[in-house]
Structure 1
Amino acid sequence: MAFDWSAVDTVLLDMDGTLLDLHFDNYFWQQHLPACWAEQRGMPLAAAHEILVPRFRELEGTLAWYCLDFWSRELELDVLSLKDDLQHLIGLRPHAEIFLEALGRMGKRRILVTNAHPDVLDYKLARTDLARHFEALVSAHALGEPKEAAAFWSRLQQQQPFTPPQTLLIDDNNQVLMTARAFGIAHLLSIAQPDSRQPPRAAADFPAVADFRELLAGADTVAATENEIAH
C-alpha cells in the first residue's frame, strides 16, 4: 500500500484493534465478564448472555459503552480488576512498534486517540509501553464525546491543534472513520484484522492495513527502525 507521507504532518492512531490486538477486549466482553457476572448471580452463562448482549448493543457507539465506571455500577462488579485475569492477552499488533518508531523518525506528530476510559488507558499503557511513542494521549472521556460523535473531533482540534487536510487517522471502527471524514480529515485508513483470532474483515469503505510496514516508504527506514528495536 503506497502512501505519500509528504502530505501528512499529524498521525492520529486508535488503540484497541489498531495498535493493540482486539482479541483481549473481544474475549473480555463476550466471554469473561459475562461468565463472572453469571457466577456472581448464580445463573447459567447462556442466561447472562441473553441479558447482557442486548444491553451492550444498545449502548454501542456511546460514551457509556466505553465507560468503566458505568459498567462497574451497572453490573455491580469491579470491571477493571477482572481484566487482571486476562492481562496476558494484551499485546501489540504485528509491527505496530516499528511503525510508531518510523513515524517518529519521519518527524510526524503522533497522537493516540481512544474511546477507552482513562483507567483502562493507563492499565494498557503500563503493560505495553506505548506512551513513549506519542506526543499526546487523548481519551474521549476527557472530551465528553466518543469518537463516533462529530463534537469529538472539533474538541480534539481545540485541545490538540491539527490541520485536517494534512492529518492521517488509522482506526478499526468504520463509524469513527466516517465521522472523521465528515469533519474533513483527509487521510483515513482502517485495519484489516483487528482481532488476531478472527479472520480478516471484508473490504469496507476505507482502505485497510494488514501490516503497518506496508505504509512505510523506503526499506532503509524499516530496517533502521527494526535494528534499533532489536538492540
Structure 2
Amino acid sequence: MKIVTVGDNCMDVYLANDQAYPGGNPVNAAVYLKGLGADAAYIGWVGTDSYGELMKEKIHGKGVDISHLSTKEGKTAVTQVELKGNDRCFGEYHEGVMTSFCLTKEEVEFVGTHKLVHAGIWGHAEDKYPLFKEIGLLTSFDFSDQLGHDLVKSVSPFVDYSFFSYTKDDDYIRQFLKGVVNHGSKIAVATLGENGSLAYDGEQFYQKGTVETEVVDTMGAGDSFIAGFLYGILKGLSIDDCMELGSETAAKTIGYFGAW
C-alpha cells in the first residue's frame, strides 16, 4: 500500500516555550499513514539551516521514505504557533525555500510508482494533478479552510478525495460539498472540529462525531483525520468506517504537543 505525499513542510514554533516541531499537511499525513501501516514517502524541500536537518532527521526517524526530500540553499519554512487554551492559533508563516518548490520529471515518475498521491493547498503541486489522474493514480487534496479559493474549482475535478476544514454541519457546507462532487471529486469531506466530520459521495451524506479524549494540543488533528480516512479507503473500508478511523487517529494526535 504505497502512498506519496507532496509539497509543504514547516517547523511549527511554539512562541510560549520556543519549542519547534516538524509539520506541514503532507509531512503530517505521511507520518500518520506510516504509523497506520502504509508504505509512505514524502517529497518536498528543506533549507540548509538547522531546521532543515531536524526536519529530515525526524521524518526519517518515523520510517517515511525521504529519498526525494531535497535540501536547497536558504531557510526551512516556519510557522509561528500560539496556544489559546488547548487550541493552536497560527501566526506568521515564512515559506522559505518552499516558495519555489516544483516537481521534477523524475519526481513525477517516482510519484507514479505509488497507489495514491496527497498534497495540500499550500504545497505548489496542484498543477500536476491532471497528470496524476491521467497516469491512473488515486488522488487526495487538502484545501484546508480555503473554501473560496480558486483552486477548489480548478483542482477538484482531478481529485478523488477532497478535504476541507469548516466549523459545523449546516446547509452551507452541505451545498458546498455537493458542489465539489459535482465538479468531479469522488468524495468530499469536511472536518468540523469539535463537531466531528461530514462527507458526501454524490448520493448521500455521512456524519461522524469526535472520539472523546483529553485535548492537549489540536495541532495535526485534521491531517491525522485525513490519514486515517485515506488508510481506510485503501483498505477497502466503507465511508462510515473511514470516517471512524479518521476520528480515532485524530483523537490520538490531540493528546500530545505538536503534530507528531
Please give the range of the TM-score, normalised by the shorter of the 2 chains.
Answer: 0.3 to 0.5
Q: Where is the helix percentage greater, Structure 1 or Structure 2?
A: 1
Query: Which structure's residues are more often strand, by fraction?
Result: 2
The higher-RCO structure (CA 8 Å, 6+ apart) is: 1
Q: Taking structure 1 as the reference length, what is the TM-score of the superposition?
A: 0.43
Q: Which has the larger radius of gyration?
A: 1
TM-score of the pair, normalised by structure 2:
0.39
